[in-house]
């Protein structure tokens, strides 16, 4: 017999799960939300990922000349922690205030398809639920590097946010969006940063002009690069430093680096360890992500998986859309699916941000599109004074349009306010607004959106 029975149990406080729990609770459904750590109320976005890291990026950008780097960094960490504490408390209150929602601390594991056991120390609670939502997210993946596991100088993207003191020399392993953001952030804080990536080119999935612009930006900010090499070992040298050995490859010689801190930014893995998915009969893929269909249903009827744990794009706004899909399954017509998603944007928070949606030039060519392309360096866009006003003219704006229909196929915005303007371009793609309409529209002045007037006027057949 179960200790409690509820309509829905949500495992994890991620964006999709907490929003679903609140909506169902306010609609009169009985809901239990289980979270193993009180430090994760509200989910990873507000506690360790999106919000705190972007707060640190913002603080790093604002370090005045002449201010002691360590003092500024320590103050930034304090402001980060204050912000996270307020958001965590508010997120907890938002569910605690809903009478139909029960909040439970502890580690959950399936003991049956619709039965979950929660343990907290010696306490044990069994929950029966008609519907189970797995929302446990992901955690940083730890590559198998000799000496890394036992090194006091090795960090992941969570632990590095509280490194003490500010590392004078930081080695970032991995050139994905996390590695790039942290490299830029710590360079602004005052660290000497070296980024190591096993690819021969930085950002191999991007057009070369975009990748080169990103590398140029980071180089101007003091970041050094070792490409085409992998970390062979990490060896603590005593005190608070380590020797990092970059193994030789076809494109790079063996290199040794001295570091006060090493960030392993080499991807993430699903947080499903000891969750008992096999006991429930829930299928996972070869990487451990929960397998779902287009309605986020798992292999077990009545069990859903949402957010990062289902292996989709790891963005908070995708998790929020997952909530809409599952809510529609439980209370609506059940017509919403993941296939409804069109033109989903993304942003890497460099300084300035790099935002993308749809196809880049290389992808459009590979897919056989007949397309037009327009590219312009931000510094050369006369109709876009805002970057000059704020003193940040790095980057470029690039738009791809279908040569026959004039529809936007994709855009790359590497400029001030890119994280905002990309949403406008995404909306244009979803609604069928043409490149000509964007080009001829009126935008506020001075704004970054004005770049569309000038850049789109330069659309021409791709070479």
Q: Are residues 433 and 408 in the same domain?
A: yes
Q: Does 240 reside within a domain?
A: yes
- Residue at which a domain ends, from 266, 293, 314: 266
Instruction: Judge whether 229 is annotated as a binding position.
Output: no
CATH code, domain carrying 106: 3.50.50.60
Instruction: Judge whether 333 is annotated as a binding position.
Output: no
Q: pTM for the whole thing?
A: 0.95
The pLDDT of residue 459 is 98
Q: Are residues 334 and 364 in the same domain?
A: no
Instruction: Judge whether 174 is annotated as a binding position.
Output: yes
The pLDDT of residue 312 is 87
> Each residue of 431-444: pLDDT tens digit?
999 999 999 999 99
- Residue at which a domain ends, from 235, 266, 297: 266
- Residue at which a domain ends, from 340, 374, 401: 340
pLDDT value at 377 more than 90: yes
Q: Does 330 reside within a domain?
A: yes
The pLDDT of residue 371 is 98
Q: How far apart are CA 410 and CA 404, in angstroms?
A: 15
Provide the residue range defining the domain that includes 432: 346-461
Q: Are residues 284 and 136 in the same domain?
A: yes
> Each residue of 39-94: pLDDT tens digit?
999 999 999 999 999 999 999 999 998 899 999 999 999 999 999 999 999 999 99
Q: Are residues 12 and 132 in the same domain?
A: yes
- How many structural domains does the chain have? 3
Q: Are residues 16 and 131 in the same domain?
A: yes
Q: Are residues 136 and 275 in the same domain?
A: yes
Mean pLDDT in residue range 274-288: 96
Q: Are residues 8 and 135 in the same domain?
A: yes
Instruction: Judge whether 308 is annotated as a binding position.
Output: yes
The pLDDT of residue 75 is 97
- Marked catalytic residue, from 58, 369, 394, 445: 445
CATH code, domain carrying 386: 3.30.390.30
The pLDDT of residue 252 is 64
Instruction: Judge whether 54 is annotated as a binding position.
Output: yes
Q: Does 215 reside within a domain?
A: yes
SS (H, E, C) the chain: CCCEEEEEEEECCCHHHHHHHHHHHHCCCCEEEEECCHHHCCCHHHHCCHHHHHHHHHHHHCCCCCCCHHHHHHHHHHHHHHHHHHHHHHHHHHHHCCCCEEEEECEEEEEECCEEEEEECCEEEEEEEEEEEECCCEEECCCCCECCCCCCCEECCCHHHHCCCCCCEEEEECCCHHHHHHHHHHHHHCCEEEEEECCCCCCCCCCHHHHHHHHHHHHHCCCEEEECCEEEEEEEEECCEEEEEEECCCCCCCEEEEECEEEECCCEEECCCCCCHHHHCCCECCCCCECCCCCCECCCCCEEECHHHHCCCCCHHHHHHHHHHHHHHHHCCCCCCHHHCCCCCEEECCCCCEEEEECCHHHHHHCCCCEEEEEEEHHHCCCCCHHHHHCCCCCEEEEEEECCCCEEEEEEEECCCHHHHHHHHHHHHHHCCEHHHHHCCCCCCCCCCCHHHHHHCCCEECC
Structure confidence at residue 355 as a pLDDT band (50, 70, 90): very high
Q: Does 146 reside within a domain?
A: no
Nearest residue to 271 via CA among 219, 319, 222, 309:
309
Instruction: Judge whether 181 is annotated as a binding position.
Output: yes
Q: Does 147 reside within a domain?
A: no
Q: For the chain, what is the mean pLDDT?
A: 96
Mean pLDDT in residue range 275-298: 97
pLDDT value at 358 more than 80: yes
Per the annotation, the verdict on 445 as an active-site residue is yes
The pLDDT of residue 1 is 59
Q: Are residues 224 and 319 in the same domain?
A: no
Q: Does 39 reside within a domain?
A: yes
Q: Are residues 134 and 273 in the same domain?
A: yes
Q: Are residues 413 and 304 in the same domain?
A: no
> Each residue of 200-253: pLDDT tens digit?
999 999 999 999 999 999 999 999 999 998 899 999 987 789 999 998 777 667
Instruction: Judge whether 276 is annotated as a binding position.
Output: no
Instruction: Judge whether 239 is annotated as a binding position.
Output: no
Instruction: Judge whether 12 is annotated as a binding position.
Output: no
Mean pLDDT in residue range 354-373: 97
Q: Are residues 29 and 115 in the same domain?
A: yes
Q: Does 33 reside within a domain?
A: yes
The pLDDT of residue 251 is 64
Give the CA distances from residue 16 to residues 20, 80, 360, 374, in Å, rounded to whole numbers and listed in that order: 6, 23, 29, 37
The pLDDT of residue 139 is 94
Q: Are residues 334 and 417 in the same domain?
A: no
Q: Does 145 reside within a domain?
A: no
């Amino acid at each position: 017999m179960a200790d409690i029975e509820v309509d829905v149990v949500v495992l994890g406080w991620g964006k999709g799960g907490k929003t679903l729990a609140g909506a169902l609770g306010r609609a009169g459904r009985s809901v239990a939300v289980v979270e193993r750590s009180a430090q994760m109320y509200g989910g990873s976005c507000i506690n360790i990922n999106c919000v705190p890291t972007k707060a640190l990026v913002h603080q790093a950008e604002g370090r005045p000349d002449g201010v002691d780097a360590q003092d500024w960094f320590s103050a930034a960490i304090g402001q980060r922690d204050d912000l996270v504490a307020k958001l965590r408390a508010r997120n907890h209150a938002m569910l605690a205030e809903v009478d139909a929602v029960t909040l439970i601390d502890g580690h959950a594991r399936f003991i049956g398809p619709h039965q979950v056991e929660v343990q907290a120390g010696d306490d044990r609670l069994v929950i029966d639920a008609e519907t189970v939502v797995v929302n446990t997210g992901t955690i940083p993946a730890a590559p198998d590097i000799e000496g890394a596991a036992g090194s006091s100088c090795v960090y992941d993207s969570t632990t590095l946010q509280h490194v003490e003191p500010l590392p004078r020399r930081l080695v970032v392993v991995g050139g994905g969006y996390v590695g790039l953001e942290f490299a830029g952030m710590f360079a602004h804080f005052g660290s000497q940063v070296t980024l190591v990536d096993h690819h021969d080119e930085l950002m191999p999935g991007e057009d070369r002009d975009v990748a080169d612009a990103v590398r140029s930006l980071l180089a101007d900010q003091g970041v050094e690069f070792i490409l085409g090499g992998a970390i062979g070992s990490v060896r603590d040298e005593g005190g608070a430093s380590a020797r990092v050995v970059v193994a030789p490859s076809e494109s790079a010689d063996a290199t040794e680096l001295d570091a006060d801190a090493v960030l392993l930014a080499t991807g993430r893995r699903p947080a499903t360890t000891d969750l008992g998915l096999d006991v429930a009969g829930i299928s996972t893929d070869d990487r451990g992500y929960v397998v779902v269909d287009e309605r986020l249903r798992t292999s077990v009827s009545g069990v859903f998986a949402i957010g990062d744990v289902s292996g989709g794009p790891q963005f908070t706004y995708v998790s929020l859309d997952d909530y809409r899909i599952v809510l529609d399954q439980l209370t609506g017509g059940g017509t919403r699916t993941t296939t409804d998603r069109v033109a989903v944007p993304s942003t890497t928070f460099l300084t300035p941000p790099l935002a993308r949606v749809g196809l880049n030039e290389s992808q459009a060519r590979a897919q056989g599109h007949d397309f037009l392309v327009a590219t312009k360096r931000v510094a050369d866009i006369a109709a876009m004074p805002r970057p000059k006003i704020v003193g940040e003219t790095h980057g470029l704006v690039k738009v791809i349009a279908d040569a026959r229909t004039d529809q936007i196929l994709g855009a790359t915005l590497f400029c001030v306010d890119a994280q905002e303007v990309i949403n406008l371009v995404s909306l244009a793609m979803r609604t069928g607004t043409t490149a000509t309409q964007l080009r001829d529209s009126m935008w506020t002045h001075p704004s970054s959106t004005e770049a569309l007037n000038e850049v789109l006027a330069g659309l021409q057949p791709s070479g």
